[in-house]
Amino acid sequence: MKNCNKMMLDGNGAAAEALKLARVKVISAYPITPQSPISEKLSEMVVSGELDAKYIRVESEHTAMSCAIGAQLAGKGVRAATATSSVGLALMHEILGVASGCRVPVVMPVVNRALVAPWSLWCDHQDAMAERDSGWLQFYAETVQEVLDFTLIAFKIAEHEDVLLPAMVCMDGFYLSHSTQPVMVPEQQAVDDFLPEYRNKNLYLDPNDPMFINNLTSPDEFTEMRYQQKVAFDNAQAVIPVVQEDFYEQFGRKYQLLESYKCEDADAILVTIGSMSGTAKHVVNRMREQGRKVGVVKIVSFRPFPHERLKEILEGKKVVGVLDRSAGLGAQGGPVWLEVNSAVTPGEKKVYNYVAGLGGRDITAKTIEKIFDQLLQQKDKPGVPEFITPWIDTGQNAMEIRRIRKND
């Protein structure tokens, strides 16, 4: 690999390494499981002098994001870093909108963890999915290498003058954040070439040239402000592939808005997101050895959602499944399914929704094989979803567990 050295890192380590390589100057992070090692590693880097940055100890995630926005806007501008997870991201909710509305291109690793209740420390995507309309770009990593690479790529996309949107780099809690993998870490000089020093290209805070940011905006202009953000997301669809190509030239690793794996001749396709994609690809290889033609589409960019590219890949495919790692309570299906279903031509194909891997439950090869089995059975009789069980890894006794009879 070009301009890279091999290191053993877990997802948190890779995120901290990427923020260091991007030369962040201000860090305001509040520790939360499973993100804590990012906060800790960054503070160690600052103490050892390895990273020239100011570390602000904040009292909450609400403040962490507020500090990051203020720091990034100050003067000529610096990159500000924070990272969070689960309820921490939920507590940030209000300020996430400030970052995106004020077009401050903060890049933030999000370590995916379930939301309460029930209390859980473990992985699912509900935290990030709850923020899917907050005006942030969202990229989901499959491997630790992707955590590092997507973070560097995210800076360049977010800071592009046609985009100017903040970005979340989402990694699955524990499955990526705490799993150690070999990672090709780019050299600082190569990163500096790829990612030049940050300069505020839009709003800035300068007492000698004052501007009033985020003032009360009347109904006369609010819609237009939102429309500007919508245009930025449209622009991002075009900017992302260009930046990914730049990254490929510099470091030799190729990425796309979404990755199509053995889909060309597939009878059934499963759309995945995050670390489950690796397991799904493994199952595809195994099933193809048995002569069963299946494929995987991995969503890399969930915001913006690459609906046109997805439509191209799914062209002519009759059976498509979507595996969501969040419940999408009250909706007709999970959030990824809703997007995929809207991307395909109505009536042309059936898109089946699956929900699995909630609150840290492992999405095993067996679970994915079960999904492919169901999808392949649907191949010859479209529109009859008799075998489909959306909550594919739910126990048979779901309504009985922890049921307590009282006051007898």
Partner 1 sequence: MPRQPKKPTKKPGKNNKPIEKKSVYVYGPVAAVFNSVNTGSWRILKPDVDNILCIGCGQCKTFCPTGVIEIDDDEKQPPGKIVVIDWAYCKGCGICANVCPKECIEMVDEKEEK
* Beta pairing class for 137-140 and 167-172: parallel
**Smallest separation (angstroms) from partner 1 to the CB of 47:** 34
Q: Which is nearer to partner 1, 21 or 167 (CB)?
A: 167
Residue from 7, 56, 90, 102 touching partner 1 (CB under 8 A): that is: 102
**Smallest separation (angstroms) from partner 1 to the CB of 65:** 17
State yes or no: residue 205 binds partner 1 (CB under 8 A).
no
Q: Which is nearer to partner 1, 70 or 241 (CB)?
A: 70
State yes or no: residue 212 binds partner 1 (CB under 8 A).
yes
Return the beta strands (E) in 24-180 as ranges: 26-27, 54-55, 80-81, 84-85, 107-112, 137-140, 167-172
* CA dihedral for 54, 138, 273, 86, sign (positive or negative): positive
Give the DSSP per-residue string, 132-159: TTSS-EEEE-SSHHHHHHHHHHHHHHHT
Separation of CA 145 from chain center: 14
Whether the CB-CB separation of 323 and 272 falls below 8 Å is answered with yes
DSSP state of 122: S
Residue from 48, 189, 215, 332 touching partner 1 (CB under 8 A): that is: 215
Whether the CB-CB separation of 325 and 123 falls below 8 Å is answered with yes
The dihedrals phi and psi of 132, each to the nearest 5 degrees, come to -70, -20
Q: Which is nearer to partner 1, 5 or 228 (CB)?
A: 228
**Smallest separation (angstroms) from partner 1 to the CB of 331:** 31
Give the whole-angstrom CA distance, residue 348 versus residue 282: 29
Whether the CB-CB separation of 136 and 202 falls below 8 Å is answered with no
Residues 342-401 that bind partner 1 (CB under 8 A): none
**Smallest separation (angstroms) from partner 1 to the CB of 25:** 22
State yes or no: residue 103 binds partner 1 (CB under 8 A).
yes
Q: Which is nearer to partner 1, 50 or 206 (CB)?
A: 206
Residue from 213, 365, 376, 388 touching partner 1 (CB under 8 A): that is: 213
**Smallest separation (angstroms) from partner 1 to the CB of 208:** 6
Q: Which is nearer to partner 1, 201 or 366 (CB)?
A: 201
Binding mask 221-240 for partner 1 (x = CB under 8 A): ----x--x------------
Q: Which is nearer to partner 1, 165 or 368 (CB)?
A: 165
Token match 């000089």: residue?
A: 189
Backbone dihedral region of 103: left (phi > 0), alpha (psi from -120 to 50 degrees) or beta?
left
Q: Which is nearer to partner 1, 8 or 225 (CB)?
A: 225
State yes or no: residue 209 binds partner 1 (CB under 8 A).
yes
Task: Write the burial class of residue 298 (CB in 10 Å: 0-12 exposed, 13-18 middle, 19+ buried).
Answer: buried
Residues 136-175 that bind partner 1 (CB under 8 A): 164
State yes or no: residue 203 binds partner 1 (CB under 8 A).
yes
Give the whole-angstrom CA distance, residue 356 versus residue 17: 31
Q: Which is nearer to partner 1, 207 or 383 (CB)?
A: 207
State yes or no: residue 208 binds partner 1 (CB under 8 A).
yes
The dihedrals phi and psi of 202, each to the nearest 5 degrees, come to -130, -115
Q: Which is nearer to partner 1, 209 or 386 (CB)?
A: 209
State yes or no: residue 199 binds partner 1 (CB under 8 A).
no
Options 35-43, 96-104, 165-173, 251-259: segment touching partner 1 (CB under 8 A): 96-104
**How big is the CA angle at 273 (ends 14 and 243), to the nearest 5 degrees?**
60
Closest CA relative to residue 324, chosen from 117, 140, 149, 181: 140
Size of the site for partner 1 (CB under 8 A): 18
**Smallest separation (angstroms) from partner 1 to the CB of 212:** 4
Q: Which is nearer to partner 1, 130 or 204 (CB)?
A: 204
Binding site for partner 1 (CB under 8 A): 101-103, 164, 202-203, 207-215, 217, 225, 228
